Amino acid sequence: MVIFLSATIKILVLSRSVRLHICIVRLSSIGDVCHMTMMVQVLRKRHPHVKVTWIIGRVEYQLVKHLTDINFIVFNKSEGLRGYSQLRRQLQLYMFDVLLHMQVSLRANMVARLVKAQRRIGFDSARAKEGHQWVVTEQVASQVKPHVLDGFFAFYQQLMHLPPPVDRLYCDFRIPVTVADRVQTWLNGHSKWLVICPAASKDERNWLPERYAQVADRAAQEGYRVMLCGSPRYSEHTLAASIVQMCQTSLVNLVGQTDLTTLVSILGSVQVVLAPDTGALHLAVSQGTPAIGLYAHSNPRRTGPYYNRDLVVSCYESQLELQHGASYKQLPWGKRLKGAQLMQEIHVDQVMELIRKAEIRHIKPRETMVDVPTYI
C-alpha cells in the first residue's frame, strides 16, 4: 500500500512538472477564432500546466489581444513573402511538443510548415485540402457532419484523450472596464436592445436593406431600441445608410465606430442579435446572447450559431435542392451556394417570430466561463 501511494504521488508530481507546449495554427476568420477561443479556454482551464502559442492573423488578433495567458504570434498576410520571412525568424526560437494545425487553406499550410514540433496533428482526410495532409503526421478522428466547433474539439480529444465538456461554453475575452463602461453609457439603461449586424464578408450573403428596416420598425413597436453595428468598410456604411433611410423608427448607427473588443461588449450586453452568416453571430453566442442567423449560401448545421441553431432562418436546403437536385445529406458537407438573389427567400415574418422566441431566452454568462474539472 505504501509503495502504491508513493508511486502514485511520484507520478502526480512528474505530471505536474511537465509543461506541454502546444502551437496552434488558426489564422482566420473572426467566427472561427471565436470558436477556437472556446476550445483553448477549456484546454487551459482543464490543463493549466499546458502552455499555448497561437499563430493568428493580424485582424483576428484584435479580438483576443487581452488574453494574456496565451502567447500570440501575429502573422500579417498582407506583407506577402516578407511576412513569411518574419514568421520564420520568430519560430526559430521555438521547438513545440505539439502542433495543432487547425486550418486547411494553402496559406495556413505554408505557415504550418515553418513550425517545428514533435507531434503534428491535423484534420482527417475528408477535410484536408491544399496539401494539409503533407504538413501533419497525425489526423483527428473522422466525424459525421460536424459543426465547426465540434471539429475543433476533435483536436482536443486527439491530444488529451478526453471528451469535450457538456456544459454550455462562453468566451471570456477580458473586456477592459473602460470599454464596458462606455458601452453601458451608449445603451443608456434601456432594457430591450436589438442589435443588427447587417453585413457579411460577401455582399451576396446580405439580406435586403428594406427588410432589415421593416424588422427594425416592427421590433421598435414591440419595445426594442435598435442598433446597427459593423466594420468601417464602405459597403457596410452604404448598407447601413440605406437601412436608416428606409426606417420609420430612429436607429443607433454604430457601423464603423467600434473595434472588435467594443463589439463583443455590445453583443454581450443586449437582448437579441440579428445577422447573416458572419462572425457577429458567433461572438454573440459566446457571450450568452441569443443570435438569429440568416442563411442561404452556407449550411447552418455546420456554421450556424452553435447554441442557437433553432434561431436560424434558412433557405439553404431548398436552394441546394434547386441548384444541385440533392439534399445536404447527399452532397459534400459544407457545400456553398452562389447567387445574389438567394437571400430574398427570407421573409420579415420569419425573423420576427424568432425575435419573439429569442426574447425569452437571453442568458447572462456565469462568472466562470464554464464549470469543467481540472485535470493534471
Q: What is the pLDDT of residues 223-233, one digit of tens each?
A: 999 999 999 99
What pLDDT sits at residue 13? 35
What pLDDT sits at residue 371? 46
What pLDDT sits at residue 170? 95
DSSP string, 51-102: EEEEEEEHHHHHHHTT-TTSEEEEE-GGGTHHHHHHHHHHHTT--EEEEEE-
What pLDDT sits at residue 374? 59
Residue range(s) of every CATH 3.40.50.2000 domain in the chain: 16-160, 177-359
Q: How far from chain centre, in Å, is Cα 93?
A: 30
- CATH number of the domain at 177-359, please? 3.40.50.2000
What pLDDT sits at residue 364? 57
E-only strand ranges, 164-245:
193-196, 225-228
Q: Which three cell numbers stand for residue 274?
A: 440579428
Torsion of the alpha carbons at 45, 48, 53 and 58, rounded to the nearest 10: 30
What pLDDT sits at residue 19? 86
- Give the CATH fold of the 16-160 domain: Rossmann fold (3.40.50)
The closest of 253, 264, 286, 249 to 183, measured between CA atoms, is 264
pTM metric for this prediction: 0.92
Mapped onto helix, strand or coil, the DSSP state of residue 162 is: coil
What pLDDT sits at residue 67? 98
Task: Name residues of the chain where pLDDT drops below 50.
Answer: 1-17, 366-371, 376
